[in-house]
Amino acid sequence: MKNKKGIHFEVSERKILLRIVDLVVVFLGIYCVSLFFDFDYIKFDYENSVALILLAFYITIFGTVFEIYDLQKASKFDSTFRNLVITTSIVVLFYLFTPILSPYLPEERTQIIYFYLTIIIPLLFWRVVYINLIESPRFYKRILLVGEVSNIDGLVNALSNFDSNYKIVGFINSESSSIESVKFKGLKEFDAKYFLETIEKERISEVLVASFNSDAIMVEVYHNLMLLLEHGFKIRDYSQVYEEMLHKVPIQFVGKDFYKYFPFSRSNENKLYIFFQRTSDIIFALIGLIFGSFLLPFILLGNLMGNKGPLFYSQERVGKNGKSFSILKLRTMIVNAEKDGAKWAKKNDKRITAFGKFLRRSRLDEIPQFYNVLNGDMSVIGPRPERPFFVNELSRIIPFYETRHIIKPGLTGWAQVKTRYGSSIDDSLTKLQYDLYYIKHRSIFLDFNIFIKTFSTILFYRGQ
């Protein structure tokens, strides 16, 4: 059997491609402008190596903060254009005001305009090429799904909504079917008898096995999968792809072999990592409390005008190993907001005051929790602590919910930067998937990623 796979860029490959080519086109732009125009603020040569490295660092960091490397946003010109303008503006601003490492401010202010255009024009040109070439159908990864009909709908929606380049062409029912069997109309079904022919005819790049009962896979389908594997064809398990692409653990598909899905990160027992985390927690907590003290007069004024009541409030939350502690926050709801009992906070909640809405959106209401971090009840990064009432309710409904308590809760976390505020059981399930992914893959790199994405959440005013 001939394997005619097309060219496809994986998610990680596209992210690396964007970052590398961004820097290449900017440096190429600097070289060309200094060569053909009267531009001498910065030149592409060895003497300016430190200044060029600083520029690359700023583009990489601020590009991450302002989401020019978010693949979903990078695939659309309107969001790409907006984010590139913001990123370039901040990069130029910071670059001009760090003259110790970057060149001194030029006497001719037109040099600053040249510098700005030298960055943004090559980036825009390259991103247009990326959208029209790399994001075009010719580079789609064509997938054939093998699984039970009852699970197809949820599987297709989860992957298709994340990556438009991940094209699920159709599926093959892994179970024996009859005329009375349930049919799935949302995706083309191929006959299991023509499995190998379908691979060739549809130019399939990868087979995704999403069968949650391996014993129920038809012998014919199992035999063809083995034959494909022997020919070096790429066959992957759905849960593996789900976790790699969506960065969350698919607990809704985890069965009795749950232990396969939770080989938790060694960082949870790594003494050096734990020491580094606690040290950084103390440093950030002190910085956060100092920053909060400077803002306190303005917050007091806003509370007086828009909150009308106590500024602070405390609430019982569940921490590490299920131990309860009192969390400290700035009050964002009306006084006695839960006189009728505990309720989910939801979008446009009428209990949230005008000033409270601003505090939530800007995440300023979280500042007092730096005291909890300093006290050791919380960490800067980790699953958000929930109230005992909701923990008891969710633990009865959602499997593995208590697993999120094996580490300290956090002021921000992977779930907070990847999804919206939880206001239902379904939202809590999604948050748990992200929390378990964090616990499973916990590392300094992932912590730094969350830290950067938290800045994006604050700057884009996405709190709720």
pLDDT digits (tens, 9 = 90+) for 77-117: 999 999 999 999 999 999 988 877 888 877 787 888 889 99
Q: Which amino acid is at 59?
A: I
Query: Is pLDDT of 181 > 50?
Result: no
Average pLDDT of the residues of the chain:
85
pLDDT at 28 over 70: yes
Report helix angle 444-459 to 425-441, nearest 10: 140
286 falls in which pLDDT band (50, 70, 90)?
very high
Most confident of 117-121, 144-148, 174-178, 248-252: 117-121
Question: Given pLDDT bands bounded at 50, 70 and 90, which one contains residue 318?
Answer: very high
- Looking only at the bridges linking them, the beta strands covering 166-173 and 141-147 are parallel
How far is 58 from 77, CA to CA, in rounded Å?
22
Q: Which long-range contacts (CB under 8 A, 24 or more apart) does 210-213 make?
A: 210/145, 210/146, 210/147, 210/148, 210/151, 210/152, 210/155, 210/237, 210/238, 211/146, 211/147, 211/148, 211/174, 212/147, 212/148, 212/151, 212/253, 212/255, 213/148
Sorted by sequence, the CB contacts under 8 Å of residue 325 that are 6+ apart come out as 316, 317, 319, 372, 377, 378, 385
Contact between 30 and 114 under an 8 Å Cβ cutoff? The reply is no
Is-above-0.75 flag for pTM? Answer: yes
Q: What pLDDT shows up at residue 421?
A: 66
Q: Is the pLDDT of residue 227 over 50?
A: yes
Specify the pLDDT at position 156: 76
- Structure tokens given for 402: 């208590």
What per-residue confidence (pLDDT) applies to 405?
93
CA distance 244 to 219: 29
- pLDDT at 175 > cutoff 80: no
Q: Which range, 178-192, 295-309, 368-382, is most confident?
A: 368-382
Give φ, ψ of 121 to 5 degrees.
-65, -50
Write the DSSP assignment of 33-57 as a string of letters: HHHHSS--SS-SSGGGHHHHHHHHH
Distance CA 146, CA 236 (A): 10
Go through the domains of the chain in sequence order and give each one's CATH number.
Answer: 11-133 (no CATH), 140-246 (3.40.50.10700), 266-459 (no CATH)
Q: CA angle 104-98-23, nearest 5°?
A: 95
Other C-beta atoms lying within 10 Å of the C-beta of residue 363: 18
In this structure, of 98-112, 127-141, 399-413, the range with the lowest mean pLDDT score is: 98-112
SS3 26: helix
Helices (H), 215-345: 219-230, 238-246, 271-306
pLDDT of res. 179? 47
How far apart are the two ends of the chain, measured CA to CA in Å? 54
Could you tell me which residues come within 8 angstroms of residue 110 by beta carbon, excluding any fewer than 6 positions away? none
User: Is 329 within 8 Å of 368 (Cβ atoms)?
Assistant: yes
- CA angle at residue 405 from 460 to 268, to 5 degrees? 90
How confident is the model over 191-207, as a mean pLDDT? 90
d(CA 13, CA 34): 31
On the question of pLDDT at 125 being above 60, the answer is: yes
